[in-house]
Amino acid sequence: MMKNYKTRILSNQEIAPDYYRMKILAPGFGQHARPGQFVMFRVQRSMPPLLRRPFGVFRTGFLPADCDGMPEKEYLEILYKVVGHGTAIMRELHSGDAVEVLGPLGRGFEPGDPQREKILVGGGIGLVPLFMLAEDRVKESPVRLLMGGRTRDDILVVTEFERLGVETYVSTDDGSLGEEGFVTQMLERKLRKYPDAEVYCCGPLPMISAVNTICAAQNVPLQVSLEALMACGVGACLGCVVKGAGHTEEHPRYLCTCKAGPVFHAAELDWHALGTPAADSCEGCKS
């Protein structure tokens, strides 16, 4: 059940330049959270920022009981990049600070066919919602992660995927880590090797679009997690809509990213309308 947790931060730690991971105390959260869902985060009693910010759930877990006999603490963890006003305030927060977290929200990933290989494609901070999916899918199917970024600083927590038993492959635009080039080139190669695979993707829109083009050409099932500016996260403000497949002026088909998504089957979306806006549009939306 989704809930507004009035809670506090357990830790907030920089893991790469401008990238942070934050653990938030959230008893009972894990049993309801499914891979690909998100939370709306608010710095309590603070204004600005006025609106909450959406963040994909990276993982949930328990901190062990401590030696003073305090019980174990259930947490949810988010990863974020400092890109704007809101995240600049978040980076200054510390363990013990009061925050509010509304969630888990939205439609997550569907597990797919256990008989088929899983290829996860993540770009930069878009890796976040893929972790719980990997954790879940690796129990039944071979899972491979293809992780792309501009430089090595954008390659995050790959070893945590490896610890799950996921095969990981890294590419960077400048070749500073892993293979030089785009993650989509790796995807084309992997699909030649595993033509039966199902693909799950999250990252900047141009990357998602390119992944969709590749998968559509080969009839590979694809689920994508989208980002959008949103005010409420529960389907009321209608600020975060995307055009669905078959959308026309006469018969509009707008889908709320927060409620119908953030995960969509590629076939549900109007890819022409999603288009390829400015390359930095993805990072801007989590400001």
Partner 1 sequence: MSNGTMHKQPNLAVEIAGIKLRNPVMPASGTFGYGEEYTPYLDVETIGAIVTKGLSLKPKAGNPTPRIAETVSGMINAIGLQNIGIDAFITDKTEFLRRVNTPVIVNFFGNTREEYGEVARRLADVPDVAGVELNISCPNVKQGGIVFGTDPAAAAGVVSLVRKNLGSKPLIVKLTPNVTDITVIARAAEEAGADAISCINTLTGMAIDVKTRKPRIANRIGGLSGPAIRPVAVRMVHQVVQAVKIPVIGIGGIMTAMDALEFLIVGATAVQVGTANFIDPGVMADIVAGIERFCREEGIADIHELIGSLR
Please report, as ranges, the residues that interact with partner 1 according to CB under 8 A: 1-4, 42, 47-52, 100, 102, 228-232, 234-242, 249, 252, 254, 278
CB of 50 to partner 1, least distance (A): 6
Least distance from C-beta 33 to partner 1, angstroms?
A: 15
What pairs with residue 248 in β-bridges?
A: none
Do 262 and 36 form a contact (C-beta atoms < 8 A)? yes
Q: Which is nearer to partner 1, 136 or 227 (CB)?
A: 227
Question: Which residue, 97 or 100, has its beta carbon nearer to partner 1?
Answer: 100
Residue closer to partner 1 (CB basis): 65 or 238: 238
Separation of alpha carbons 267 and 212, rounded Å: 9
- Based on CB atoms, which residue is closest to partner 1, 178 or 206? 206
CB of 58 to partner 1, least distance (A): 23
Residue 217: other Cβ atoms inside 10 A: 10
Q: Closest separation between CB of residue 19 and partner 1, Å?
A: 22
- Using DSSP's 3-state secondary structure scheme, residue 100 falls into strand
Whether the CB-CB separation of 283 and 81 falls below 8 Å is answered with yes
DSSP letters for 78-99:
EEEE--SHHHHHHTT--TT-EE
CB of 285 to partner 1, least distance (A): 9
Distance between CA 237 and CA 235 in Å, rounded? Answer: 6
When the beta carbons of 179 and 268 are compared against partner 1, the nearer one is: 268
| Closer residue to partner 1 in complex, CB, 28/252 | 252
Place of tokens 């008893």: 27
Asked whether the CA dihedral 32, 35, 38, 41 is positive or negative, the reply is positive
* Residue 102 beta carbon to partner 1: minimum distance, rounded to whole angstroms: 7
CA 156, 61, 77, 137 torsion: positive or negative? positive
